[in-house]
Amino acid sequence: MSMKNIENNNETYRPLIVAFCCNWCSYAGADLAGNNRLAYPADVKIIRVPCSCRVNPTFILRAFQRGADGVIICGCHPGDCHYTSGNYYTRRRMSLMFSMLDYLGIERERTRVEWVSAAEGAKFAATMNDFCETVAKLGKNKRLEDLRCKQ
Amino acid sequence: MRKISLDRINDLFAAIAAEFRLYLPVDTNGGARYEEWAEGKILSDELNTVRSAKDFFFPQTENLMDFKTEGKKIEIVDTRSETEDFVIFGVKACDVRSFDVLDRVFLAEPQDSFYKNRREHSLILSMACAKPHETCFCTTFGIDPSAPMGDIVCYKTEDALYMDAKTEKGAALLKKIESITVEDNGEAAEKQKKVIRERLEKLPLHNLTADRFGGDKTAEFFKAPEWKELSASCLGCGTCTFVCPTCQCYDIKDFNTGHGIKRFRCWDSCMYSEFTKMSAGQPRLTQLERFRQRFMHKLVYFPANNDGMFACVGCGRCLSKCPIQMNIVKVMKTLGKGEEKNV
Amino acid sequence: MQAVTREILINKAAELLGNGTVDRVFGWKKGEFSYDVTPALFTTREAMDADFVFGDFCGANFSKYLVAETRKEGKVLVFLKPCDTYSFNQLLTEHRFDREKVYVVGIPCSGMLDTVKIKAVAEGIASVEDNGDRVTVHSLFDGDVTVSRNDMLPDRCKNCKSKKHVAYDELIGEDGEVIDSGRFDEVEKLEKMTPDERFAFWQNELSRCIRCNACRDVCPACTCEKCVFDNPDSGVENKAAANSFEEKMFHIIRAFHVAGRCTDCGECSRVCPQHIPLHLLNRKFIKDINEFYGDYQAGAEVGSRAPLVNYTADDPEPAEAVERSHHDA
């Protein structure tokens, strides 16, 4: 799904997406997507982290608090972590964290983990397009918002 | 004195709510709490609310002001909205007295205008305690649960509610609801008062006295060796301070919203490790010091600055809510060497 | 009714104090009312004879106190119920105290009574009498009320996970077994709700939070010397608790921080002044861990590797895991 379609469906609302990308794979993947002129929405704000396992669950909640409508964490494919095993820990942590958010009634589609290698520029763009579209359909983040940050 | 039968109490609430915002204790799965009355809300039968009534005047969190920044300009925004008159129904004698304690703090110069505003707009309908609990010891501080203060004093019996105005504001309200109430000679209320006083005699803490404490006792108690044992198992949580009707310490916190600052006042607890933390650290380094501070404040420092008035009203909330069951009664009995009034 | 008596415990403590095995005893001190019991230290038999109690209201988990106790000189005797021994092991696994400075006497437990439930039975409690499967509450004003003991148990005791002591130096009475309890029933009930219902449920529960931190301060898994929520420099300190986001933030992060380490002792729910069922957050994590990574009971053995500091190559992906834990779809 291209960026254009999202704009057509939601003329006024564009979701804010925070993407935590690991330095070694996914950030390079984003770079490759750019070099290859693959379009993905500018609503995706990338935060570079040394490893996907650097992402503390607090970061996710803080992102929602500060206005994110969706949070995606991208790292090296399991087995390919630059630090050998960081993404394996990410996988466990985020499984539990997302399950807990779901348990509290917060839409599970707002959070996602994807493994994107440095060679997968196309996958990066496709993932972001798909995630933006999913979050756009859900609408604004209401259940984990902090009204003080919205005006 | 005016009377209304209990099966018509909803009409009474509706009549008051037509004029004012009306708050009353209702049951929740976390115990009783004050909520704004609306059709369908039922007055709780619990002796008292889990949180005290101090919230009405000194809320847990309040937005004092906002700062908006644009470039190098800072605009200060007064976030206060004009408070309308409101009625709190069913406040017990201990909580009514707690307002006097809070007044001493917030209405002393310089007056706290936020607090004062709410205080002036309130109408308090107090309620005599038909069945005090084992944790009650308000009589220790000279409070009479059968005759609470307030704008109107209420007595609830099996079948009726009796209301007696104590102030002009209260009389004006009674006047407004005259059409749905009837005049009463006060016999039933007197009868209930007598029952309450008999029940007070049966309370296990009935003979507790605060005579050993007061504003001149700092030297005597500050270095008492008993503090060590008393504070030994304290967890350092803030339960006692947050359910306490007279605890009034607060912190001021700025929240960066990303496009400005919101300034909040929020409850703080002397039991917390970061209480009054400054650049040099927290002045009370150990839990013993923090624990001692709380009780010395209630029993010694506060009376020293407020004509002997103790900063405890004997509501018993800390007795039932402390996770490890340490409380002011144990402190008073241990430091006062178990001294009790002669029975 | 508890299987051991106060006298047995005092005798045991006196023996261990007398022969020099321990220097002090961590136990329960009687207070003003029958349910009013405070954790306290005793150093002599006389002090214990005067103030030591043991009974239906000795629910406090003593394991966490050992972190501070073992920093003192000498050895401390502690009485641990089966559920407390799990916390004990978990703290040992995390190297939070010196095992050599503790002497553990394991005591059997038939469930501790819930003060909140007792207080709901009668107004003005004079005393509470335990007659085995019935409990009689003597009221100050209304005479006696007798109820089923089982009805007076808190959720953590009704759904007791184990009567087996996983750590002790000495045991009083017979050891029990691990129980196949219904402790995840409530979690499943919530999982089966729609997201809207779950959101409403938790919004209602967590909105009562007064941020007193009692749940954190009593929690044997919360032993950080400085909590992130107490650190003004952490960026997440939220004392102001100005809105529902901050309540969610606190409770999600706290539950996550103890995930895989929480032994499900239930102290958080016991101490909550607002009766928020906080154990349902922890149990969700425990249930998920069991389902995603295989059964794991924190504290069952010393030195086990907690699930969140462990992994396998074929762990489920987050999306798949959330789907699996999801029953309403």
Answer yes or no: do C120 and C108 share one domain: no
Residue appearing with tokens 């379609």: A5
pLDDT over 70 (residue C323): yes
Answer yes or no: do B149 and B228 share one domain: no
Answer yes or no: do B192 and B233 share one domain: no
Task: State percent of chain C over pLDDT 70.
Answer: 99
pLDDT digits (tens, 9 = 90+) for B239-297: 999 999 999 999 999 998 888 899 999 999 999 988 998 888 889 999 999 999 999 99
Report if residue B209 sits inside a domain. no
- C-alpha C143/C-alpha C128 separation (Å) is 12
The phi and psi torsions of A83 (rounded to 5 degrees) equal -105, 30
Q: What confidence score (pLDDT) does residue B338 get? A: 53
Answer yes or no: do C207 and C311 share one domain: yes
Residue range C323-329: mean pLDDT, rounded: 63
Answer yes or no: do B106 and B150 share one domain: yes
Nearest residue of A to residue B261, measured between CA atoms: A148
Q: In the structure, what pLDDT confidence band is assigned to residue B154 with cuts at 50, 70 and 90?
A: very high
Answer yes or no: do B164 and B302 share one domain: no
Report if residue B71 sits inside a domain. yes
Report if residue C179 sits inside a domain. no
In order of A15, C59, C93, the CA distances from A148 in angstroms are 18, 41, 42
Domain range for C128 is 115-152
Mean pLDDT for chain B overall: 93
Report if residue B340 sits inside a domain. no
Answer yes or no: do C220 and C267 share one domain: yes
Report if residue C145 sits inside a domain. yes
The side-by-side arrangement of strands in the sheet containing C76-80 is C37-42, C24-30, C76-80, C102-106, C170-171
- Flag if A151 and B262 touch (Cβ within 8 Å): no
Answer yes or no: do B228 and B190 share one domain: no
Q: Do residues C85 and C178 touch, judged by C-beta distance below 8 A?
A: no
Q: What confidence score (pLDDT) does residue B340 get? A: 52
- C-alpha B250/C-alpha C318 separation (Å) is 42
Interface test with A, best of B62, B77, B257, B259 (most A CBs within 10 A): B257
Residue range B151-162: mean pLDDT, rounded: 95
Residues of C whose CB is below 8 A from B255: 240, 242
Report if residue B210 sits inside a domain. no
Domains in chain A, CATH or no CATH each: 3-137 (3.40.50)
Looking at the structure of chain B, the number of domains it has is 2
Indicate the burial class of C120 (C-beta count within 10 angstroms; 0-12, 13-18, 19 or more).
middle
Rounded to the nearest angstrom, the minimum Cα separation between C245 and chain A is: 6
Looking at the structure of chain C, the number of domains it has is 3
Residue range B45-52: mean pLDDT, rounded: 94
Note the ipTM here.
Answer: 0.93
Report if residue B165 sits inside a domain. yes
Residue range B305-311: mean pLDDT, rounded: 96
Best CA proximity match to B318, nearest among B237, B233, B232:
B237
Answer yes or no: do C30 and C10 share one domain: yes
Q: Output the six-digit token pair for B325.
A: 């069951």
Answer yes or no: do C319 and C209 share one domain: yes
Q: What confidence score (pLDDT) does residue B341 get? A: 47
Answer yes or no: do C147 and C103 share one domain: no
Q: In the structure, what pLDDT confidence band is assigned to residue A151 with cuts at 50, 70 and 90?
A: low
Best CA proximity match to B12, nearest among B154, B206, B197:
B154
- Flag if C141 and B202 touch (Cβ within 8 Å): yes
Answer yes or no: do C132 and C225 share one domain: no
Answer yes or no: do C253 and C191 share one domain: yes
Report if residue C180 sits inside a domain. no
List alpha helices for B5-134, DSSP H. Answer: 9-19, 93-106, 113-120
Domain range for B323 is 218-335
| Final residue before a domain boundary, out of B150, B171, B202 | B202
Answer yes or no: do B197 and B272 share one domain: no
Answer yes or no: do C165 and C41 share one domain: yes
Greater confidence, B138 or A3? B138
Q: Which amino acid is at A123?
A: K
Task: State percent of chain B over pLDDT 90.
Answer: 89
Indicate the burial class of B140 (C-beta count within 10 angstroms; 0-12, 13-18, 19 or more).
buried
Best CA proximity match to A113, nearest among A138, A130, A129, A95:
A95
Pairs across B and C, CB distance < 8 A: 128
Residues of B whose CB is below 8 A from A151: 257, 259
Best CA proximity match to C150, nearest among C110, C177, C178:
C110
Q: What confidence score (pLDDT) does residue A13 get? A: 86
Answer yes or no: do C207 and C244 share one domain: yes
- Flag if C248 and A62 touch (Cβ within 8 Å): no
Is B62 in a helix, a strand, or coil?
Answer: strand
Q: What confidence score (pLDDT) does residue B174 get? A: 95
pLDDT digits (tens, 9 = 90+) for A65-120: 999 999 999 999 999 999 999 999 999 999 999 999 999 999 989 999 999 999 99
Answer yes or no: do C206 and C280 share one domain: yes
Residues of C whose CB is below 8 A from B332: none
Q: Do residues C269 and A84 touch, judged by C-beta distance below 8 A?
A: no
Report residue C75 CA to chain centroid gap: 24
C-alpha angle A133-A138-A144 in degrees, rounded to nearest 5: 120
Rounded to the nearest angstrom, the minimum Cα separation between C242 and chain B is: 6
Question: B178: which DSSP letter?
Answer: G
The phi and psi torsions of A66 (rounded to 5 degrees) equal -85, 10
pLDDT over 60 (residue C7): yes
Residue range A16-27: mean pLDDT, rounded: 97
| Final residue before a domain boundary, out of B177, B202, B227 | B202
Contacts of residue C109, defined as CB under 8 A and 6 or more positions apart, other chains included, come to C2, C81, C82, C83, C163
pLDDT digits (tens, 9 = 90+) for C205-260: 999 999 999 999 999 999 998 899 988 888 888 788 888 899 999 999 999 999 99
Q: In the structure, what pLDDT confidence band is assigned to residue A11 with cuts at 50, 70 and 90?
A: low
Q: What confidence score (pLDDT) does residue C327 get? A: 53
- Asked if omega into C316 is within 30° of 0 (cis), the reply is no
**Residue C315: which of A61, A88, A99 has the nearest Cβ?**
A88
Q: Do residues A26 and A76 touch, judged by C-beta distance below 8 A?
A: yes
pLDDT over 60 (residue B342): no
Q: Do residues C262 and C285 touch, judged by C-beta distance below 8 A?
A: yes
- Flag if C214 and B233 touch (Cβ within 8 Å): no
pLDDT digits (tens, 9 = 90+) for C177-211: 999 889 999 999 999 999 999 999 999 999 999 99
Q: What confidence score (pLDDT) does residue A7 get? A: 47
Answer yes or no: do C200 and C300 share one domain: yes
- C-alpha B270/C-alpha A72 separation (Å) is 41
Report if residue C178 sits inside a domain. no
Report if residue C177 sits inside a domain. no
Q: What confidence score (pLDDT) does residue C307 get? A: 96
Report if residue C286 sits inside a domain. yes
pLDDT digits (tens, 9 = 90+) for C90-137: 999 999 999 999 999 999 999 999 999 999 999 899 999 999 899 999
- C-alpha C40/C-alpha B334 separation (Å) is 14
Q: What confidence score (pLDDT) does residue A5 get? A: 47
Residue range A125-147: mean pLDDT, rounded: 94
pLDDT over 60 (residue C273): yes
Report if residue B207 sits inside a domain. no
Answer yes or no: do B113 and B43 share one domain: yes
Nearest residue of C to residue A93, measured between CA atoms: C308
Q: In the structure, what pLDDT confidence band is assigned to residue C326 with cuts at 50, 70 and 90?
A: low
Nearest residue of A to residue B262, measured between CA atoms: A148
The phi and psi torsions of C286 (rounded to 5 degrees) equal -65, -45
Nearest residue of B to residue C64, measured between CA atoms: B235
Answer yes or no: do B197 and B238 share one domain: no
Q: What confidence score (pLDDT) does residue C237 get? A: 84
pLDDT over 90 (residue B88): yes
